[in-house]
């Protein structure tokens, strides 16, 4: 008896700690704009916490719903697949991906009417029979038979996600591929432990059922921790790449073409193992142009990761298109739009009262030196010379 009480205490403690960690990880993932993984973690935390509280008979009027009557198992698989596709697919996810949640609607159609048709006393009686005697009778036999197939639903989606990852392995960076492959293989191992391992645990059914979530608790918190570490490393790597781009060596006089060709060649070599085809590059380039038409280049701290998130694809694909399709780096690509807007405003007679610096800052440049350098490189003259030249042209046009 003491051993059973000790086992219950250990399992309940681990379950509640794991649920708390999953909830905190969901908030962190949401801040990292990994919304599919954040939703997955949040649902898992809520469900596991409910099952732990119901086992302890804490707040049964609330914890009974996800602790006994309902489950998020039906949506874990689709959320996993959509998260993997978001990381490996250059094209943004479409509304058709919502079809993966049709089984969840069928699940609700089967369970909600039956659960709410029961009186409160009947619901609590069935829950007490389950907790005291291991007698699990939640729905009609027909519904229970149909729901038994849901046990394999998340398992099937793991293999679908694995298939998609392997199919796009050549277009996926090696670091992302190996990371996702490891997580998905561990997911398979976890489900094998859940489905087959729990058959050999000599405890009561409620405790065995609660214990069956421990492998998932360990795996999903490991996934969240590794994912957060990976995202931080990737952001740091992109920041270093941006710094290298902004601090590229001075072009030797008389040989700018050679240096430019070297930079373009370097960019092509960088993506030789993760290349997009021409149609994919064209599609992403069109999305970039639509985004620039919304004047997002006016944001002084605009980064490659920000642009990728707005489009809905991985940053390395955006960087690849800018390097290959536009033959420049990210900083030069954004500055093209900024300089075009600035030149139009410097030529506008109605904006002559605005200072050059104000115009530059309002279009995304964050320093006078950087603006003057980029402007003279683009036009061959200083901003003030350009404005005076346009003023003379406007006067001559008016006199004519």
DSSP string, 82-134: HHHHHHH-SSPP-GGGGGGGHHHHHHHHHHHHHHHHS-HHHHHHHHHHHHHH-
Indicate if 121 and 28 belong to the same structural domain: yes
* pLDDT, mean of residues 204-214: 90
pLDDT at 274: 55
- Mean pLDDT of the region 331-341: 93
User: Is it the case that residue 20 has pLDDT exceeding 90?
Assistant: yes
Q: Are residue 301 and residue 200 in the same domain, yes or no?
A: no
**Do residue 137 and residue 83 come from a single domain?**
yes
pLDDT band at 152 (very low <50, low <70, confident <90, very high): confident
Residues 327 and 366 sit within 8 Å (Cβ to Cβ): no
Within this chain, do residues 293 and 366 fall inside the same structural domain, yes or no? no
Give the residue from 178, 206, 236 where a domain finishes: 236
Q: Name the range with the highest mean pLDDT among 71-85, 255-269, 310-324.
A: 71-85
Report long-range pairs for 258-267 (Cβ below 8 Å, ≥24 apart). 263/329, 264/323, 264/327, 267/323, 267/324, 267/329
Residue 393 has pLDDT above 90, yes or no: no
Mean pLDDT, to the nearest integer, of 50-69? 94
> Per the structure, how many domains does the chain have?
3
pLDDT at 91: 64
Structure tokens at 209: 């059922």
- 76-98 pLDDT, tens digit per residue, is 999 999 999 888 876 667 888 99
Q: pLDDT at position 250, please?
A: 39
DSSP character at residue 151:
G
Residues 363/364/370/376 CA torsion (nearest 10 deg): -30
- What proportion of the chain, given as a percentage, has pLDDT over 70? 85
pLDDT at 241: 46
Residue 252's alpha-carbon distances to 166, 248, 261, in angstroms, are: 45, 12, 13
CATH code of the domain containing 36 = 1.20.1070
Average pLDDT over residues 136-152: 84
- Asked whether residue 105 falls in the same domain as residue 154, the answer is yes
pLDDT for position 90 = 63
Q: Are 329 and 263 in contact (CB under 8 A)?
A: yes
Answer whether residue 243 is part of any domain. Answer: no
What pTM value is reported for the model?
A: 0.63
40 and 188 together in one domain: yes
**In the listed set 205, 236, 267, which residue is the last one of a domain according to the structure?**
236
Mean pLDDT score across all residues of the chain:
83
- Please write the tens of the pLDDT for every residue from 111-135: 999 999 999 999 999 999 999 988 8
Domain hosting 285: range is 257-328
Measure Cα distances from 278 to 23, 165, 309, 325 in Å.
41, 21, 22, 9
pLDDT in the model for residue 311: 85
Structure tokens at 65: 């719903």
Q: Does residue 252 register a pLDDT over 50?
A: no
Residue 247 covered by a domain: no
Q: Do 324 and 336 sit in the same domain of this protein?
A: no
Is the model's pLDDT at 254 over the cut of 50?
A: no
140-146 mean pLDDT: 87
CA distance linking residue 36 with residue 30, whole number of Å: 9
Q: Rounded to 5, what percent of the chain is helix, strand, coil? A: 80, 0, 20
Say which range, 121-130, 221-230, 304-313, has the weakest mean pLDDT.
221-230
Question: Is residue 248 situated within a structural domain?
Answer: no
């Amino acid at each position: 008896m003491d051993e059973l009480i000790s086992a219950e205490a250990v399992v309940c403690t681990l379950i509640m700690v794991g649920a708390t960690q999953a909830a905190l990880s969901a908030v962190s993932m949401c801040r990292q704009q990994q919304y599919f993984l954040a939703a997955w973690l949040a649902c898992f935390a809520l469900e596991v916490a409910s099952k732990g509280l119901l086992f302890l008979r804490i707040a049964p009027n609330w914890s009974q719903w996800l602790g006994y009557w309902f489950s998020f198992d039906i949506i874990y698989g689709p959320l996993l697949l959509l998260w993997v596709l978001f990381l490996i697919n250059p094209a943004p996810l479409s509304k058709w991906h919502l079809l993966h949640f049709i089984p969840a609607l069928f699940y609700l159609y089967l369970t909600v009417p039956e659960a709410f048709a029961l009186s409160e006393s009947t619901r609590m009686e069935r829950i007490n029979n389950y907790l005291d005697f291991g007698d699990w009778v939640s729905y009609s036999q027909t519904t229970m038979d149909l729901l038994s197939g849901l046990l394999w639903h998340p398992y099937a989606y793991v293999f679908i996600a694995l298939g998609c990852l392997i199919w796009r392995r050549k277009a996926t960076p090696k670091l992302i591929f190996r990371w996702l492959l490891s997580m998905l293989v561990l997911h398979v191992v976890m489900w094998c432990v859940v489905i087959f391992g729990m058959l050999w645990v000599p405890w009561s059914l409620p405790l065995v059922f609660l214990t069956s979530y421990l492998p998932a608790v360990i795996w999903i918190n490991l996934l969240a921790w590794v994912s957060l570490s990976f995202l931080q490393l990737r952001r740091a790597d992109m920041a270093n790449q941006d710094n290298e781009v902004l601090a590229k060596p001075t072009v030797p006089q008389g040989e700018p073409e050679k240096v430019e060709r070297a930079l373009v060649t370097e960019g092509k070599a960088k993506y030789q193992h993760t290349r997009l085809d021409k149609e994919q590059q064209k599609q992403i380039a069109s999305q970039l142009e639509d985004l620039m038409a919304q004047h997002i280049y006016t944001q002084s701290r605009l980064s490659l990761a920000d642009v990728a998130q707005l489009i809905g694809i991985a940053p390395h694909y955006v960087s690849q298109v800018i390097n290959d399709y536009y033959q420049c780096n990210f900083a030069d690509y954004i500055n093209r739009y900024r300089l075009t807007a600035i030149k139009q405003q410097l030529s506008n007679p109605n904006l002559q009262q605005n200072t050059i610096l104000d115009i530059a800052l309002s279009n995304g440049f964050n320093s006078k030196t950087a603006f003057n350098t980029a402007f003279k490189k683009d036009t061959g003259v200083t901003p003030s010379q350009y404005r005076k030249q346009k003023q003379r042209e406007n006067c001559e046009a008016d006199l004519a």
